[in-house]
Every structure is written in structure tokens, then in C-alpha cells.
Amino acid sequence: PSEHPSVRASAFALRDEGFDVREARLRPDGGLDLDSFEELLSEDTVLVAQMLVNNEVGSVYPVSELARIVRRSAPNAALHVDAVQGLGKLELSIEELGADTLALSAHKVHAPKGTGALVTRGKVALRPLVFGGGQEAGRRPGTENVAGIVAFGEAARLADTGREEGVRAMAAARDAFVRGLERVPGARLLIDGSPVVPSICAIALAGAPAEVWLHHLEARGVCASAGSACNAGKKELSPVALALGLTPDEARRVMRFSFAAATTVAEAERAAALLAELATELEAVQS
């Protein structure tokens, strides 16, 4: 349930075609249950897909350890890693992760949307989904978006060279926001005690559903999302929140706040202070 909807939907489409699709469980603290994960594997397993960083709650999963389990219990399987949320926040090495393929997305390092990269290790045979021009070594036909590719490459270079400084700035902003949550009645972190990236803070609030909080925050100049930004506006409950043990009512009150390297401590403190103000206002309306 932790995977991005694009991965889960693709897996479910394969299940409809007759493939046996299995999902690993999460621990209550947001970590991956590696014991139950290994039980899902066999010599018949052909593909394992695992994200490096959860896009909703920010959990960092132990992909290197997971890769060793895959090589031991499913030697015929390829390991695909969605590293989109890790770009610019973690040191990425496909070799050290033990993955066969690694997916990245440009907009996570402030490059133009619609550009991505698939990093491969060794001789990975990829059959194209569509056919025609044979661009990109025959893997994806169609005229290349040269401007997008160049912009992504430069943005990735800048993100890598400035990663440590950027991570410190994100962590300072996130820490300030978390401290401010102490003044918000009923607010709690979804992930507390297991590794997270400093760019994401997922919280559950008391009282009104997330959409109400979001509306009031936006009117005051603070943007957040209910779950991931990819699914913002959809009515489905987050599978991640439910997998963490939240009730459906609690899952409707989950919000995600994101922090960039340019986010200041003052901005993070203001966002938390606004939540405290709104909590008082909403409580007065509901009483």
C-alpha cells in the first residue's frame, strides 16, 4: 500500500491479466515489514517494485537491505526502485541500492514538469510500450524534449552539488514546523521514530477534515495537500494512512506539508502558527 498510485495501478492491471500480485505490509511506525516482505517472494517472482521515499509521509525505506533479500529469495526477479522523492535529498547510487532500474522525475528538483529519467544497471532488456521512431535506444519512440532533458540534467547537477546545504535548510524548516505543532491541539505526526526525508511532514489533525483546513490555509497564503500532491482533490482515502492503522475518519484529516531548500524557518513557523489559530477558530465554530 505504500507505493505510488502509478505503480499500484500498473500492478493491478497486470493482476487483471492473470499475474499474481502481492503487496508488502507497513509497520505501525511507517517502516517496511521486511519479514512479511520476504514471505511474499519465491523463485517465480519476476519483478519487485519498491519506492525509496514515500511521497505521502516521507518514510525512507531500506532498499539496500530489501535488495539483498530479493537476491536471496527471488533470484530471478528484477528490482525497480521509484527514487523520485529521494532526488536532491538523499545520495543516490543504483549500485549501492542494488536496484536494476531507478526512476527519477525532473520537477522534484525544480526542473520543468513532464521530464523523467530511467537509470538502468547492467544489461536490462526493456521492451517499449509503443513503437515507431526508435528514439532513446529503442526504448521510447518520439521526438525527444531536448530543452526538458538539458534542464533536468542541469537541475540534477545543481541539486547534487548543493544537496547537503539544501537538506540542512529543509531540516531546519521542518524541525521548526514540528515544534510549532505542539501548540496545535490534537495534531500528531504520522511518522515519528523511523527515518524520513526533511522535505515532507505528514500530520493528522483533529476535528474538521483536511479539505477544510486546506481552504483556510490557502486563504492565508499557505499551501499544503491532503495526502500527496499527485492525488490532491481526489476523494479516495489514502492507502498509506490506512496501512499505518488510521481509521477512515482519521485518514480524512491527514495533511502533507512540503519543505524546499528555499523554505525559511520563519515561513515554517508561520504555517504552524496558522494551524494553531485555525484550530481555535474551527473549535469555536463546531462548539
Per-residue b or e along 4-14, where b marks 16 or more CB atoms closer than 10 Å to that residue's CB? beebbeebeee
Amino acid at 144: E
Whether residues 209 and 270 share a domain: the answer is: yes
pLDDT single digits (tens) 240-256:
999 999 999 999 999 99
Whether residues 205 and 237 share a domain: the answer is: yes
Whether residues 187 and 120 share a domain: the answer is: no
Q: Choose, from 230, 260, 262, 266, the residue flagged as catalytic.
A: 230
Question: If you average pLDDT over residues 204-218, what whole number do you get?
Answer: 95
pLDDT of residue 284: 82
pLDDT of residue 201: 98
Nearest-angstrom CA–CA distance, 114 and 112: 7
pLDDT of residue 236: 78
Which of 64, 105, 98, 62 lies closest to 82, judged by CA?
A: 105
Whether residues 94 and 155 share a domain: the answer is: yes
Amino acid at 273: A
Percent of the chain with pLDDT over 70: 97
> Which CATH number belongs to the domain containing residue 27 in this structure?
3.40.640.10
pLDDT single digits (tens) 62-74:
999 999 999 999 9
Whether residues 34 and 150 share a domain: the answer is: yes
Q: What is the tally of structural domains in the chain?
A: 2
Where does a domain end: 96, 129, 160? 160
Q: Are strands 116-120 and 188-189 parallel, antiparallel or unpaired?
A: unpaired
Whether residues 10 and 146 share a domain: the answer is: yes
C-alpha cell at position 118: 530511467
Nearest-angstrom CA–CA distance, 42 and 71: 10
pLDDT of residue 234: 59
DSSP 183: G
**For residue 153, how many other CB atoms are within 10 A of its CB?**
14
Whether residues 150 and 198 share a domain: the answer is: no
pLDDT single digits (tens) 111-135:
999 999 999 998 788 888 889 888 9
Amino acid at 274: L
pLDDT of residue 2: 85
Where does a domain end: 143, 160, 177? 160
Question: If you average pLDDT over residues 13-35, what whole number do you get?
Answer: 93
Asked if 144 and 136 touch (Cβ cutoff 8 Å), the reply is: yes
Whether residues 151 and 20 share a domain: the answer is: yes
pLDDT single digits (tens) 67-101:
999 999 999 999 999 999 999 999 999 999 999 99
Whether residues 129 and 180 share a domain: the answer is: no
Whether residues 153 and 59 share a domain: the answer is: yes
- Domain range holding 86? 5-160
pLDDT of residue 198: 98
pLDDT of residue 68: 98
Whether residues 153 and 64 share a domain: the answer is: yes
Percent of the chain with pLDDT over 90: 83
Asked if 68 and 50 touch (Cβ cutoff 8 Å), the reply is: no
pLDDT of residue 122: 83
Where does a domain end: 97, 129, 160? 160
Asked if 59 and 47 touch (Cβ cutoff 8 Å), the reply is: no
pLDDT single digits (tens) 213-228:
999 999 999 999 996 5
DSSP 232-263: TT--SPPHHHHHTT--HHHHTTEEEEE--TT-
Whether residues 133 and 169 share a domain: the answer is: no
230 is catalytic: yes
> Which CATH number belongs to the domain containing residue 173 in this structure?
3.90.1150.10
pLDDT of residue 231: 53
On average, the pLDDT of the chain sits at: 93
Which of 103, 97, 107, 100 lies closest to 83, judged by CA?
A: 103
